[in-house]
Amino acid sequence: MTRASEPHTTALPHWEDPPSDLAAAIREIKPVLRARIEASGRSAEEVFAAVECRIETRIAEIDADRARGEELWPVLDYDAIADGTVTPAQMAKLKKRGCLVVRGHFPREQALAWDAGIVDYVERNEFFENYRGPGDDFFGSVGSKPEIYPVYWSHAQMQARQSDRMATVQSFLNSFWRHTGDDGTQWFDPDRDALYPDRIRRRPPGTDSAGLGTHCDPGTLDLWMTEEYQKAFRHLFGGTVEQYDPWDAAHRTTGPQYPGSTMCSAFRTFQGWTALSDMDADQGVLHTVPIPEIMAYLLLRPLLPDVPEDSMCGVRTHQVFPVTKRWHPTLYHALTPIPDVRAGDSVWWHCDMVHSVAPVENQQGWGNVMYIPAAPWCARNERYAAEVREAFVTGSSPSDFPAEHYERTWTDRFTTENLNETGRRGLDLV
Ligand SMILES: [Fe+2]
């Protein structure tokens, strides 16, 4: 009998809450991960080499496209999405690159009016007079002036979240995922969004910003250590990496996430934002490594012998998942800026993807966005929706974010009477 015929003989230890001794938990899980991979017939190093080869092939494709002067980010007109006229080649490029710019997602005048409406809302409620400084330690690093507004319940944000045009794009993006398993389990509903409330960024002209380092957002140590993520990444932790599909939602939409100041309780198929100003690609914009299967590389890299046995390449709880030149040098080469965007365009990237925000000096023009992801209805998002509902009704900061609660006393918040059917479904107020 070959070893390959008896895979997964060793059960993985798991921690549904963050382990109290992180180093001890990492030392405990690493040899078991290696043993499970070896049971498939290859060592962890051999399996990682296969993953690295797949990633390097992607990087070579990116280099070739770049050399030809081709736009690396897929770009689609909103009308093509709404009319169902996106071509198979465009669909294939989106699936390969895991990201998208939607041109004209909203009319430019609408986006500029929303931006002006936000200014009016925060000024009328004396936000700048009462601003107490950054409420967290991640975006907080960009400076003491409010570039990130901890504002969640403006008319602009809610109108965009519950709009038909947003729902159309979210359904389109969700359709790239396998949301229903072979056994009929529906892991999420691609046509119902949970309206994940997030903040606003308004970065003024002349800004000097250090940007944000390269990282990814779907979790931290929980990606290796909780039972549901271990099932979601079963092909990585079982040595069958060739079968790993970054678009399979199975077990991603059910489990817990370790708490932290940068956590996202919701399952997002794509992270996204809608531009409220024009932004050129050299003005400190979002960059991604446009490779959706990157999680295979990130989760297996710590099993190589050059990484200390109590380290997951610097991943800790309560901090963002760092992607570093020390442990992931290959990836930097593929960091790619978004193309120039105009007010009303939207930008999307697969939830696993590595991204950063470039530094800028003396920024030209405004850099204004509303963060609105695709967070389809699923067990995890239904749980969080109860907290969102409460925050919405009281004007509080949602529980994923610092407890700043500026809007509780503000006038002219978006309220229950302003919800349409999409909004009520998203908040489970049907
Ligand atoms: Fe991020």
Instruction: For residue 404, give the CATH number of its domain.
Output: 2.60.120.330
Nearest to 205 by CA among 363, 342, 361, 358: 363
Does a structural domain hold residue 14? no
Instruction: Write out pLDDT tens, residues 326-356.
Output: 999 999 889 999 999 999 999 999 999 999 9
| pLDDT at res. 3 | 41
From ligand 1's centre to the CA of 296, what distance in Å?
18
Does a structural domain hold residue 369? yes
Type and span of the H or E element at 40: none
Which residues have C-beta under 5 Å from ligand 1, the single-atom ion?
217
Q: Quote the CA–CA distance of 2 and 38 in Å, as a whole number.
A: 12
Structure tokens at 303: 């099993």
Instruction: Write out pLDDT tens, residues 211-265.
Output: 999 999 999 999 999 999 999 999 999 999 999 999 999 999 999 899 877 778 9
Does a structural domain hold residue 4? no
| pLDDT at res. 10 | 76
Does a structural domain hold residue 3? no
From ligand 1's centre to the CA of 148, what distance in Å?
13
From ligand 1's centre to the CA of 216, what distance in Å?
6
Does a structural domain hold residue 397? yes
| pLDDT at res. 145 | 62
From ligand 1's centre to the CA of 11, what distance in Å?
32
DSSP summary character for residue 180: B
From ligand 1's centre to the CA of 215, what distance in Å?
6
The whole-model pTM stands at 0.95
> Residues 163, 418: contact at Cβ < 8 Å?
no
pLDDT < 70 regions, the chain:
1-9, 136-145
| pLDDT at res. 6 | 46
> What's phi and psi for 274, nearest 5 deg?
-110, 130
> Residues 429, 389: contact at Cβ < 8 Å?
yes
Q: Quote the CA–CA distance of 24 and 29 in Å, as a whole number.
A: 9
Instruction: Write out pLDDT tens, residues 294-308.
Output: 999 999 999 999 999
From ligand 1's centre to the CA of 322, what distance in Å?
10
Alpha helices in 217-303, H assignment, sequence order: 222-225, 227-232, 234-237, 294-300
| pLDDT at res. 139 | 53
From ligand 1's centre to the CA of 306, what distance in Å?
27
Does a structural domain hold residue 133? yes
Does a structural domain hold residue 320? yes
Cα-trace Rg, the chain = 21
From ligand 1's centre to the CA of 321, what distance in Å?
9
Count the domains in the chain.
Answer: 1
Structure tokens at 338: 């978004």
From ligand 1's centre to the CA of 254, what distance in Å?
21
Output 131-134 pairs: Cβ under 8 A, ≥24 positions apart.
132/404
Type and span of the H or E element at 104: none
Domain span at residue 75? Answer: 20-426
Does a structural domain hold residue 261? yes
Structure tokens at 112: 């500029």
From ligand 1's centre to the CA of 287, what distance in Å?
10
| pLDDT at res. 248 | 98
Output 25-30 pairs: Cβ under 8 A, ≥24 positions apart.
25/221, 25/225, 26/221, 26/302, 26/309, 26/310, 26/311, 26/312, 27/309, 27/310, 29/224, 29/225, 30/302, 30/303, 30/309
